[in-house]
Each structure stands twice: as C-alpha cells, then as structure tokens.
C-alpha cells in the first residue's frame, strides 16, 4: 500500500473550491464538501508508488483529485504486468471494496505525482445521513458506469464465454470515465403533455365503457388484502417492454447498461421487480436496496435481464385497464412525471432527503394496478369520468372497498420496498396523516397535484391552483426546512408552475407510451 503522507495544510475554502472542479463532487454544496473533507484523508503519492496491491484486502475507496494512475494486472508466467487502463483527475477506484470484502484483483500505481482522497467506509457510515446519501448515489452512478463498460468489454470477445475474473477486474480496479458512453437518448414521442387528443379514442371509436362496479359488491379491506400477493402479475408499459425486448434481443442490453437502467426506471413494475430481486434472501443484504442502479450492481446485468424477460412475458397475460389504452398511457405518464416534478421541487426548495424521490413518485400509484386486477371496470371510467369520480380515493373505497394507496402498501410490504415508498403510497393524498418520511410525502403530494394541474393525470384535470395552495404539504416543508418559512407560497406556486410550462417538453418528451 502507498505510504503517502498527509497533504500540507491549506486553507479549507481552497480545498473546497478545488474539489468543486472534480467531476465526482459536482452537485455537492460547500457544507457537504466540508463534511466530506472531515471524514477523509489526503494522500500525496509519488510517481510509481503502488496505491492498491493485488491480492490484498482492505475497505478503502479512493478519489483521484489530481494526477494520473494506471491499473495493472499480473498474469501467471508473465514477468511484466499488463496495463488494463489509466485513470485521470476526477476518477475513482477501489469502490467495490465498499460493497464486499474481497481481495483486490489488480494493482493501481501512480503514473505521476498524484493527490488522492482516501475514504474509509466506516467513517462515511457515521457521517451525516444526507452526505451519505449523496456520496453513495454518486458511488452507484460510477459503479453502474463501470459495469456498463465491463459488460461491453466481455461481450466484445467473440466466440468466448464471459470471463468472470476479467469482469471482476474491470469492476474493482477502475475504468477511465472518458471511455464511458454518453447516456442513450430514449425515443421521443411527440404530442405528450398538455394536449392529448387520444384521451377518449376508444370511447369515440364506439367501444362502450363498462358500467361502474356495483357498490354493494365491494369487498372488505381484509378480504382485499388477502388477495394481494407480492408475486402477483401486474401489467408493464408495452412501449417500454418493446424497447427492452429489442434491446436484449440484439444483445445491447449488456452493451449499454446505463440505457437499460433508464428504461427500467420508466416503468414502476419493472423497477419494483429488479429491487425485489436485489432484496431477496439469495443476496443476503443487511441493508434494504432502494434504487435501480444499486440493485443492478448487486444482481448483475445478466440476472436483471432474466428478471425483465420473465416479468414482461408474464405481463402479456394481463391487460391494463381493460384495454383502454388512453387510461393506461395516462397512468404510466403520470407516474414518471410525478417522480420528476418531485425531484424538481426538492432541488428548487434546496432540501436534503435520503429517499429516492423519483422512485417515490414512480411508485406512488402502484396500488392502482393492484386494484385494477380486482375491479377491472373501475378505472376505464376515467376515459370520460363522471362527477362522482372527482375524488378518486373516496370513489375507490365506495366502489372497490379500499383506496389505491393502501393497496400499494400491501403489495410493497410483500415485495420488501423501503419504508419511504410505503409512506408515500399511503399518504400522498393525505399528507396531514403521515407520521414518518414527512418531506417525501409532502413533495410527492405536491408533485401529484402539479402534474394533474398540467394535465398529466387520469381523466380530465381536476386540480386547481387553489387546491395546491391549500395543501397541508407546505406546512410540513416549512416545519422541516426553516428557510422556506420566509417564502411566499402563492408566489412560489406561480413561479414553479411557470417553470413547469417552460420545461414540460423535457419532462415528458422521453416517456415511452
């Protein structure tokens, strides 16, 4: 190991400004960088110094702040190691040691004088929870990128089976960030968002709506809960399924892991199944996995593709919303839009939250798919919703027996989703009743209303600016984020609404429908 000495003391503000220019720390604010510097150690490493030695075991993770290092692999019978790659300023290496205690599979050697931050996982785990969240989110992004390139390298060896040792080497000891592909831009379908002329296409085509379910036939919550199973077959967005089938059929599922993750994250059921797999006893995780990228790292791309194939194949046997495609498209668009607006609200208000807000939004209406399987005549009514369906939660209780929030919680508990997702499902229409994860609940409640106000909802928009203004969620945000107490809420709503109008094409443009 490198015996590098501590960097000479320099002004803390200078250190922070220096780190801001490093790609790994993009998005970290001054306070977070100060905290990070307090739990990490500076190393100044001379050229040709070994930083990581093959076959050793340690849990440290390194960020190359300035300089260049090379990753080398020693092979039996060879006198000289082979060069796997070189890493430059902004890269990180040794990150797999944070996931599992396994021996290093390659040497990492300084090519030039380098300045490195050494991060101990035990120190990070005892630091501020919001700093942990941002650090591990960036860590997962980098790890998925490494997995992407590793898979492409392995797949690029025609006529040979994948070599696990090569894959492991690339994952553990680093791949240059410059070699990573840019995210694939998903297919854009025009005409989404505020204007959706297909809203009542089947109704106008002469396909009559089924009658509303008989209220007298609704079941008790206890009986309905008994019908909810974690392995229940739920419908998948067919446009997303089609893209994934083509991608995996052509072999590019391994070639472009980042695009694979993007596609999975466009569908709530696929995202759930991937996370559910990562949390299964087979992987023996001590902490619950709550994000798609981390689940992909833990499960592996090949196994993830098998999960996707099985889920998509099973979904062919079920029909979402009795075949009323406009309702189904509204549902899938609404899920993605709410997740994205929730993230926008978090960023604009400048909140630090440990939960994955996008997935909180994506999953918030998952219970509708559960109830649709139990009462297939209910949701098609949103092609031309009557007045009695204006309050969807009350209508679900009256016609089915339970609301979609509770149904989603029953499913999520069986799947093993983290608690924030359950709280958001249960209380996104009633934030005043939430007792835990109050800020995620509040943000998804507001995002749900903003999305509906802009037309991304089932049926015709029912939410008004006055509804948004009266939401109890503002009180929850003010309580947990004191600077917001000075904000004029009506003025904020008008400004944020105007910003949504400007960026609407970007929010909805890549949603596959």
Number of domains in the chain: 2
Residue 65, domain member (yes or no): yes
End-of-domain residue from the set 152, 179, 206? 179
3-class SS of residue 126: coil
Question: Two tokens at 484?
Answer: 């917001």
CATH number at residue 408: 1.10.3210.10
> CA-to-CA distance for 407 and 175, rounded, in angstroms?
44
What whole-number distance in Å separates Cα of residue 409 and Cα of residue 287? 20
Cα–Cα distance measured from residue 333 to residue 446, given in angstroms and rounded to the nearest whole number? 17
Tell me, yes or no, whether 214 lies in a domain.
no
Query: What was the pLDDT predicted at 247?
Result: 87
% residues pLDDT > 70 (the chain): 80
Q: Are 172 and 288 in the same domain?
A: no
Domain end among 115, 149, 179: 179
115 CB-near residues (< 8 Å, 6+ apart): 7, 42, 43, 44, 45, 65, 66, 67
Residue-range definition of the domain harbouring residue 279: 221-508
Helices assigned H by DSSP within 401-513: 404-415, 419-427, 438-453, 465-469, 473-480, 489-508
By the 8 A CB rule, do 414 and 366 touch? no
Amino acid 163: pLDDT: 44
Name the residue among 257, 186, 28, 265 with its Cα closest to residue 512.
186
Q: Is there a single domain that holds both residue 288 and residue 430?
A: yes
Alpha carbon distance 19, 164 (integer Å): 35
Is residue 380 in some structural domain? Answer: yes
Does 325 share its domain with 413?
yes
Handedness of CA 438, 443, 448, 449 (dihedral sign): positive
> What is the rounded distance in angstroms from the CA atom of residue 396 to the CA atom of residue 186?
35
- Same structural domain, 295 and 360: yes
End-to-end CA distance of the chain: 52
Q: Which long-range contacts (CB under 8 A, 24 or more apart) does 390-394 make?
A: 390/462, 392/458, 393/429, 393/430
Question: Residue 174's domain is classified under what CATH number?
Answer: 2.60.120.10
Measured distance CA(438)–CA(440) in Å, rounded: 6
Q: How much of the chain is helix, strand and coil, in % rounded to 5?
A: 55, 10, 35
The C-alpha atoms of residue 473 and residue 85 are separated, in whole angstroms, by 50
Residues 146 and 240 both lie in one domain: no
What is the Cα–Cα distance from 513 to 419, expressed in whole angstroms? Answer: 29
155 and 274 both lie in a single domain: no
Helices (H), 108-159: 121-125, 129-155
Residue 201 included in any domain: no
pTM: 0.64
Whether 189 is in a domain gets the answer no
Is residue 210 one of the residues assigned to a domain? no
Mean pLDDT of successive 10-residue segments in the chain (513 residues)? 45 76 75 80 90 84 87 83 82 74 82 88 64 73 66 49 42 38 34 38 58 92 93 94 87 75 96 93 84 92 92 91 93 97 96 92 98 95 89 95 97 94 97 96 98 92 92 96 93 96 94 93
Rounded distance between C-alpha atoms, residue 429 and residue 13, angstroms: 44
Instruction: Give the three-class secondary structure for 235.
Output: coil
Of 179, 199, 229, the position where a domain reaches its end is 179
Please check whether residue 473 lies inside any domain of the structure.
yes
Same domain, 269 and 331: yes
User: Do residues 371 and 402 touch, judged by C-beta distance below 8 A?
Assistant: yes
Residues 439 and 5: their CA atoms lie apart, in Å, by 43
Determine the length of the chain. Answer: 513
Q: What is the pLDDT of residue 198?
A: 43
Q: How confident is the model at residue 414, as a pLDDT? A: 92
Among the listed residues 455, 404, 405, the one whose alpha carbon sits nearest the alpha carbon of residue 426: 405
Structure tokens at 104: 């290093």
- Residues 264, 171 share a domain: no
Residues 305 and 375 in one domain: yes
Could you give the residue ranges of the DSSP H alpha helices within 289-418? 292-299, 301-315, 325-349, 357-363, 366-374, 392-399, 404-415
Pair (228, 335) in one structural domain: yes
Q: Give Cα 213 to chain centroid, integer Å.
A: 36
Q: Is 5 among the domain residues? A: no
Q: Are 471 and 450 in contact (CB under 8 A)?
A: no
């Amino acid at each position: 190991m490198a015996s590098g000495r501590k960097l000479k003391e320099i002004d803390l503000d200078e250190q922070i400004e220096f780190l801001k220019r490093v790609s790994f720390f993009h998005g970290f604010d001054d306070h977070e960088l100060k905290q990070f510097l307090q739990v990490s150690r500076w190393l100044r490493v001379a050229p040709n110094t070994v930083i990581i030695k093959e076959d050793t075991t340690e849990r440290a993770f390194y960020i190359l702040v300035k300089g260049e290092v090379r990753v080398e692999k020693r092979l039996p019978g060879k006198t000289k190691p082979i060069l796997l790659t070189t890493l430059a300023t902004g890269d990180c290496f040794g990150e797999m040691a944070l996931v599992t205690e396994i021996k290093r599979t390659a040497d990492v050697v300084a090519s030039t004088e380098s300045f490195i931050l050494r991060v101990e996982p035990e120190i990070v785990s005892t630091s501020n929870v919001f700093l942990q969240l941002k650090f591990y989110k960036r860590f997962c992004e980098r790890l998925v990128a490494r997995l992407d390139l590793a898979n492409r390298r392995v797949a690029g060896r025609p006529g040979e089976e994948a070599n696990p040792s090569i894959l492991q080497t690339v994952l553990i000891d680093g791949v240059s960030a410059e070699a990573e592909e840019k995210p694939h831009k998903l297919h854009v379908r025009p005409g989404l968002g505020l204007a959706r002329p297909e809203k009542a296409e089947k109704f106008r085509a002469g396909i009559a709506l089924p009658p509303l379910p008989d209220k007298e036939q609704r079941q008790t919550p206890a009986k309905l809960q008994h019908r909810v199973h974690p392995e229940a077959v739920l419908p998948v967005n067919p446009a997303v399924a089609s893209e994934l089938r083509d991608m995996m059929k052509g072999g590019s599922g391994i070639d472009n892991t980042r695009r694979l993750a993007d596609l999975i994250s466009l569908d709530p059921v696929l995202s759930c199944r991937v996370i559910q797999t990562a949390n299964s006893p087979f992987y023996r995780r001590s902490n619950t996995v709550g994000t798609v990228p981390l689940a992909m790292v833990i499960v592996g791309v090949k196994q993830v593709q098998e999960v996707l194939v099985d889920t998509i194949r099973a979904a062919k046997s079920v029909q979402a919303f009795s075949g009323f495609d406009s309702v189904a498209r509204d549902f899938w668009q609404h899920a993605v839009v709410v997740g994205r607006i929730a993230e926008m609200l978090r960023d604009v208000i400048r909140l630090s939250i440990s939960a994955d807000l996008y997935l909180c939004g994506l999953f918030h209406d998952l219970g509708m798919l559960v109830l649709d399987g139990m009462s297939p005549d209910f949701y098609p009514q949103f092609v031309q919703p009557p007045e009695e369906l204006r309050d969807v939660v009350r209508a679900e209780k009256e016609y089915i027996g339970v609301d979609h929030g509770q149904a989603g919680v029953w499913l999520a508990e069986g799947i093993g989703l983290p608690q924030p997702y359950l709280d958001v499902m249960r209380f996104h229409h009633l934030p005043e009743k939430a007792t835990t994860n109050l800020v995620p609940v509040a943000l998804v409640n507001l995002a749900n209303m903003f999305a509906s106000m802009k037309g991304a909802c089932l049926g015709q928009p029912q939410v008004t600016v006055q509804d948004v203004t009266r939401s109890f969620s503002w009180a929850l945000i003010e309580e947990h984020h004191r600077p917001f107490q000075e904000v004029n809420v009506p003025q904020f709503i008008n400004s944020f609404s105007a910003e949504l109008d400007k960026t609407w094409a970007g929010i909805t443009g890549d949603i596959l429908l």
